[in-house]
Amino acid sequence: MSKTRAFVLNVLFPLILVAIIFLVVRMSIADREIGSLKKQIAELREAASSTFEQTIRRFDDFDRRLGEMATFSKKRATPATPSNSQIASAAPGPKRQTRIVPIRNVNRRRDERKEQELKLKRDLLEFSSVRIRTCEKHAGRTAAEEVSNRCEDRMQRLAARGNSAAQEWLGSEARDKQQIQLAILWLEQAAKQGDCAAMNKLGAIYAGRNEQTSDTSHEDAADSTKALYWYGKSAGLGDVSAMGAIANIYQEGRLVSQDQHEAILWYEFASKEAFSNGGGKLGSANFASVLGDIYAKGTGADQDKVRAYEWYSIACADATRWNVAEDQSCMARSKAASELSPVEVAKAQALAVEWEKLYRPTAWADRRRAELSLR
């Protein structure tokens, strides 16, 4: 009996020792992973502490670059013959002092934008009222051509009075009829009043694309400088679709030199901007999913399955929160999870949660309250 006990002890002791060593090694590896995860979360928090200021500075820098591009384009288009004013300025005489333009005040710009938005809302109300009365109300009792002519005539009179919604409508109608120069004329008038939809349509025309079908039906009007200018103006006002369009321009490299790093930055801007004009909620979910594809496939960035899972998780949460139909980001997240270890999945989930707390604070609080109420 003692021999059997000694034999069992001799066999079990090494196994127990090996198991203990294995557990210690696994715990040390897990500790390192958790330490690395905490470090990354701390870096993410630190990087996001001044996100708003960095975003504003980036938009200002982008606006400045667009201004320089536009100035260069105008100079290039100007004939070489000097004008009378240039000859007069070249004549000898006392030098004029250069006026230094002060930096624009952020609060003043915000107030101006509020006034712009109020006018846009008033214009939209007036436009909707006229459209219902003129373009739709008697459509069943009048010939379609007569209704169309009366509607266009009424909209032109409304646009001539400065109604931005009517100007944008006339520009869209002209674009659909392939009257590109007329479309640009009307859309520019609306865009100068702060209409983001008009800015985006101008950007699409100058990008050589049909905004609705995404084909290249306006190739003859393509102008990379003007496309970036108008998309940049709209993006500066927080429009998600404009940010995504700029990202797409840099990703494709069709109008400008291909720059995947710049494309990723603009996709990130679009994903962070949860609320915007023109269906921003849907756009932010789509662009987060695009970032997931970039990191999953390694196109434009080093392949990183953890970051792919993080962005798919963010896109899935947005799509679920806003009831986006036929969204594939949740399925993509599950596929990415199957290619990661449990520790990597936990790391990606923690990064996605931290991102949501930073950029979806209200939605995150609502989600936590719902989870606690089910317990």
DSSP 8-state code for residue 95: P
**Residue 280's pLDDT band (boundaries 50, 70, 90)?**
very low
Cβ–Cβ contacts within 10 Å for residue 303, how many? 12
Residue 306 burial (CB < 10 Å; 0-12/13-18/19+)?
Answer: middle
Q: What is the pLDDT of residue 91?
A: 36
Q: Say if residues 315 and 293 touch (Cβ distance below 8 Å).
A: no
Predicted confidence (pLDDT) per residue in 250-267, tens digit? 998 888 888 999 999 999
Q: What is the pLDDT of residue 126?
A: 93
Q: What is the mean pLDDT of residues 29-53?
A: 63
Q: Say if residues 44 and 355 touch (Cβ distance below 8 Å).
A: yes
* DSSP labels, 50-79: THHHHHHHHHHHHHHHHHHHHHHHHHHHS-
Place of tokens 């591009």: 69
For the chain, where are the alpha helices, taking DSSP H only?
Answer: 2-48, 51-77, 84-90, 106-130, 144-160, 164-176, 180-191, 196-206, 224-236, 240-252, 260-272, 280-297, 305-321, 329-338, 342-359, 361-374
**Residue 320's pLDDT band (boundaries 50, 70, 90)?**
confident
Q: Percentage of the chain surpassing pLDDT 70?
A: 67
Domains of the chain in start order, with CATH, are 107-237 (1.25.40.10), 266-375 (no CATH)
How far apart CA 116 and CA 257 sit, in angstroms, is 34
Cβ–Cβ contacts within 10 Å for residue 197, how many? 23
**Residue with the larger pLDDT of the pair 16 and 204:** 204
How far apart CA 257 and CA 252 sit, in angstroms, is 9
How far apart CA 244 and CA 251 sit, in angstroms, is 10
**Could you tell me which of 181, 235, 239, 236 has the C-alpha nearest to residue 206?**
181
164-176 and 144-160 are packed helices; what angle lies between their axes, rounded to 10 degrees? 130
Q: What is the mean pLDDT of residues 162-181?
A: 94
pLDDT of 288 higher than 50: yes
**Residue with the larger pLDDT of the pair 76 and 338:** 338
Q: What is the pLDDT of residue 89?
A: 39
Q: Say if residues 312 and 336 touch (Cβ distance below 8 Å).
A: yes
- Average predicted confidence (pLDDT) for the chain: 77
**Residue with the larger pLDDT of the pair 314 and 213:** 314
Q: What is the pLDDT of residue 264?
A: 93
Predicted confidence (pLDDT) per residue in 352-362, tens digit? 988 988 888 77
Q: Percentage of the chain surpassing pLDDT 90?
A: 36
Predicted confidence (pLDDT) per residue in 85-130, tens digit? 433 333 333 343 434 444 445 677 778 888 989 999 999 999 999 8
**Residue with the larger pLDDT of the pair 285 and 175:** 175
Predicted confidence (pLDDT) per residue in 124-153, tens digit? 999 999 888 888 755 455 677 788 888 999
**Phi and psi, residue 250, nearest 5°:** -70, -35
Residues 6+ apart with CB under 8 A from 1: none
Global pTM exceeds 0.85? no
**Residue with the larger pLDDT of the pair 19 and 261:** 261
How far apart CA 236 and CA 136 sit, in angstroms, is 35
How far apart CA 48 and CA 348 sit, in angstroms, is 17
Residues 6+ apart with CB under 8 A from 282: 322, 324
Q: Say if residues 348 and 340 touch (Cβ distance below 8 Å).
A: yes
Angle at 261 between CA 257 and CA 262, to 5 degrees: 65
Helix (H, G, I), strand (E, B) or coil at 274: coil
